[in-house]
Amino acid sequence: MRFLKLFTKGFFLTVNVIVLLLFLVACLAPYVSPEQWWPISFITLLFPLLLLALILFFICWLIFDFKYCLLSLLAIVIGWKSIAAFIAFNLPSAKKQFANPEGSINIMSYNVAQFGLYKEKDSKYNRQAMFALINKQDMDIVCFQDFYTSEKKNDFNNREDISREMRLPYRYFSSDFNRDGMQHWGSIIYSRSPIIKSGKLKMSTGPLSESLIYADIVKNGDTIRVFNMHLASYRFNERDYRFIEKIKKQEDTGLVATRNIMEKMKDAYVGRSRQADIVAAFIKTSPYPTIVCGDFNDTPASYTYFTIRGTMQDAFLTRGSGIGRTFAGLAPTLRIDYIFTDKSFTINSFRKINSDLSDHYPVIANLTLLGH
């Protein structure tokens, strides 16, 4: 009986140490670029599970053998920077707190997934529903990623229609790639107030590369700079997603498909780390109070997140609560859509809308420029 007790204790202590080491490696992500050591990015995907396991070990050791709970406690203290980026420790806000102060800025960031252009069902209905959802929010500034517009007859001229229907007359569109000069894809910034300057910076090369775009907007007599971006995705195709579903249901363990998926993920992690370095350096050149929006395709435990955020405020962490999932697929812990601001702004509120019209949820923040 004593042997069994010692064996059980040794087993759980060993597992605890393994989890602890993986957790600490994941917490190195802010400091280690995937370009230098790409496996760290795969470990960051496990961050919420590793954190949960450490908490459970802490509780169990607290009950059965107090001294060992210090292992998990020490790891949590060391990794607090990553934990504090992952979880917003605020109470859920009441709706009455969403009232916008006079002169404040209402801004939305939303990966619109081309307004459902390639959905098997009625893409026209999906587009109309998304337009209604966005219009209802009464935004001052809107940043869309994965945006599609067309000048072809009987197609959707989203660029013009949104300006007209949502009273957002000023805009800047990246038009990163097009088909026959008539159909366009990219990121776009819309504004109710005048845009006095705008531009874009290519974040990578190749036919599917996208741009970091910015717009200098005059609001209440002040100029602010708004950035918008869509960083490199895994570029999974339908076959990849089907295979992932089989893995989740334990129906398949195909090594060839797994290797293909892992290779795509590795390329995306390395690509995003390079993009993050470019973006962070360019944001620092802003001469105005700065707002950053985008679909980073990376979690708050990642090198990408910490590099781009730098010393800026994360609207979700300031006014949101919990984990704040923004991506509807793959895993329930994926917050990959962000609104950051520099210290020139007060963040009054943050919310996301759980809508299934896109595979991303729109995120909204209300901001006040200090001194107003």
> Are residue 323 and residue 233 in the same domain, yes or no?
yes
> Are residue 137 and residue 163 in the same domain, yes or no?
yes
Q: What is the DSSP letter of 31?
A: T
Burial of 223 (0-12, 13-18, 19+ CB in 10 A): middle
* Cα 84 from Cα 79, distance rounded (Å): 9
Boundaries of domain holding 36:
2-86
pLDDT in tens, the chain (372 residues): 666 667 778 898 999 999 999 999 999 999 999 999 999 999 999 999 999 999 999 999 999 888 999 999 999 999 999 999 999 999 876 544 556 888 899 999 999 999 987 766 677 889 999 999 999 999 999 999 999 999 888 889 999 999 999 999 999 999 988 888 789 999 999 999 999 999 999 987 766 678 999 999 999 899 999 999 999 887 665 565 565 555 555 555 555 557 778 888 898 999 999 999 999 999 999 999 999 999 999 999 999 999 999 999 999 999 999 999 999 876 778 999 999 999 999 999 999 999 999 999 999 999 999 876
Q: What is the pLDDT of residue 241?
A: 54
Q: What is the pLDDT of residue 234?
A: 73
> Are residue 80 and residue 121 in the same domain, yes or no?
no
> Are residue 205 and residue 283 in the same domain, yes or no?
yes
Q: Quick check: 292 and 338 in contact, CB under 8 A?
A: yes
Q: Quick check: 230 and 304 in contact, CB under 8 A?
A: no
> Are residue 14 and residue 150 in the same domain, yes or no?
no
- Which residue, 86, 115, 145, sits at the end of a domain? 86
* Cα 193 from Cα 126, distance rounded (Å): 28
Q: What is the pLDDT of residue 328?
A: 87
> Are residue 82 and residue 99 in the same domain, yes or no?
no
Distances (CA, A) of 13 to 57, 74, 76, 230: 9, 15, 17, 42
- Which residue, 51, 86, 121, sits at the end of a domain? 86
> Are residue 180 and residue 289 in the same domain, yes or no?
yes
Computed from CA positions of residues 174, 177, 181, 184, in that sequence, does the dihedral angle turn out positive or negative?
Answer: negative
> Are residue 63 and residue 109 in the same domain, yes or no?
no
SS3 109: strand
Burial of 154 (0-12, 13-18, 19+ CB in 10 A): exposed
> Are residue 108 and residue 228 in the same domain, yes or no?
yes
* Cα 193 from Cα 171, distance rounded (Å): 10
> Are residue 225 and residue 293 in the same domain, yes or no?
yes
Extract the runs of DSSP E, i.e. beta strands, from the chain.
Answer: 105-111, 141-150, 170-173, 177-179, 183-191, 195-202, 211-219, 222-230, 290-295, 313-314, 337-341, 345-352, 363-369
| CATH number where 197 lies | 3.60.10.10
* Polymer length of the chain: 372
> Are residue 52 and residue 177 in the same domain, yes or no?
no
Domain count, the chain: 2
Q: What is the pLDDT of residue 196?
A: 98
